[in-house]
Every structure is written in C-alpha cells, then in structure tokens.
Amino acid sequence: MGRDNQPKERQRRDLERKLQRGKVSCERVLIVSEGSKTEPQYFDEIRKEFRLPVRNITVSGSELGTAPIQVVEYAEQTFKKGNPHKGIEPRAFDRIFAVFDRDQHHSYFDALSQAEALDNKLRNDAKQKVPFKAIASVPCFELWLLLHYEDIRTPMHRDDVMRCLKQYIPDYTKGMNRIFAITRSQLDTAMKRVEMLASRGFNARTPPDPFTDVAELVNVLRSRYGTEG
C-alpha cells in the first residue's frame, strides 16, 4: 500500500514545486552571511515580519569561516550539495545572496570577483540560471543600520560606526534581537541614503568609501516577496 502511494506523493510534490516556481512570490532564496547571529537574525526577522514562507527563504551563517571568500564558497557549496542536517536539498534555490563585510579582510575583492563569476552560471533543479549576488558593506553591516539615523558620506572605521550606532540604539550588541523592528520606521530613509551614496559613485569596490548593498537585499525581500505596509 505504501509503495503504491509513493509515485502519487512524488507527483504531488513535483506539481507543487512547479506551481510555486511559476510565482515570483514563491522564488526560493538562499542567504549566506559572514556573521552567525547578527545578519541571520536580521533577515529572519524580515522573513517573519512579511510572513514569507520558511520553505522559500533560507538564512544561514557560513560554516566554512567568516572570510568573505569562505562565505561565497559556502553559498556555492550549499547550493550545489545541499545540507541534509538543515533539510536543504541540492540546487533547490532560484536566487543566492552572500553577505559579508569589507573590514580588513584580505579576500574581500576575491569574494566580489568570485560572486560575479558565479552569477547566472549555476543552474537549479528546474534547469534555470540562478543569480548570485554579493551583498557587501563597507566597513561593516552596522553601517546599514546607522544609515537609518545618520547621513554618512565619509569613510568610517567599524569602531566609529558602532559608537555612533549606540547613540541611537544604546543597548545594541552583535546578535541583538528585534533590530529590524527597532529600525523599521526609518527604513525608507536608509534606502534613500544608500541611493545617495551610489549617486556619488560609491560601491562595493570603492573602499574606504562608505557603502552597503544590504538595501538591495532588503528591498528584494520587501517588494518582491513580502507585502508593503
């Protein structure tokens, strides 16, 4: 009896996957970050806030190490091989994002180049090309949070970013809970300030100029997968 039901169950799952892939809102996204707490918690908060299906948004810290190139490599490895311990199947994603900081990492530019080389070169389980995007911050992820409160246009050391951020969020620490909820009211302001940095020619390849691509990933989740409100 169990054997007779297996083909029907597989057909049902295959049909469900095909129907999901036909909807933009159901694209499957893999987000791999340098940090194991701060960034994963932030993006997972966004997933919950906009009621995004957990089966479509996978957020993970890099298990190969925190160097930018290791973040990119882990994202590629997870996509290709999956992770049975986390219930991740091979090639089960439609978009990949690798999130890391500039800081003083020696492999930073190599990671940017590797992500660019992988962009639309991998194919998922539906034989579709998969966008692979590096989400870099100069000097660090906290610059994105600080931009919710200050218009930053000159280079800053990460220690100065943290000091300034604590003027607005006094109890801020790495891995802090509810950081998206705390900063959400200033989200559109932060978006506009990132656009201003880009208009000045700042980007991930112009350190020490302040810049962050986190806005792009947040906007993707908010506008294409979530519900504006």
Q: What is the number of structural domains in the chain?
A: 1
Strand, helix or coil at 30? Answer: strand
Average pLDDT over every residue of 82-89: 92
Contacts 24+ apart (CB under 8 A), 14-22: 17/126, 18/126, 20/56, 21/94, 21/126, 21/128
Would residue 90 count as lying in a domain? yes
Domain presence at residue 6: no
At residue 18, the pLDDT reads: 47
Residue 34 lies in a domain: yes
pLDDT tier at 5, thresholds 50, 70, 90: low
State pLDDT tens for residues 157-173: 999 999 999 999 999 99
Task: Note whether residue 21 is domain-resident.
Answer: no
Q: Classify residue 200: in a domain, yes or no.
A: yes
Residue 8 covered by a domain: no
**Residues 78/32, Cβ–Cβ less than 8 Å:** yes
Note every long-range contact of 173-178, with CB atoms under 8 Å and residues 24 or more positions apart, other chains counting.
174/35, 174/37, 174/38, 175/35, 175/37, 175/38, 175/41, 176/38, 176/41, 177/41, 178/45
At 223, is the pLDDT very low, low, confident or very high (cuts 50, 70, 90)?
confident
Supply φ then ψ for residue 31, to 5 degrees: -120, 115
> pLDDT tens-digit profile of 121-160?
999 999 999 999 999 999 999 999 999 999 999 999 999 9
Q: Is residue 7 part of a domain?
A: no
pLDDT at position 35: 83
For residue 229, pLDDT beyond 50: no
Which residue range forms the structural domain that includes residue 186?
26-225
pLDDT (average), residues 205-220: 96
Give 9's pLDDT tier (boundaries 50, 70, 90).
low
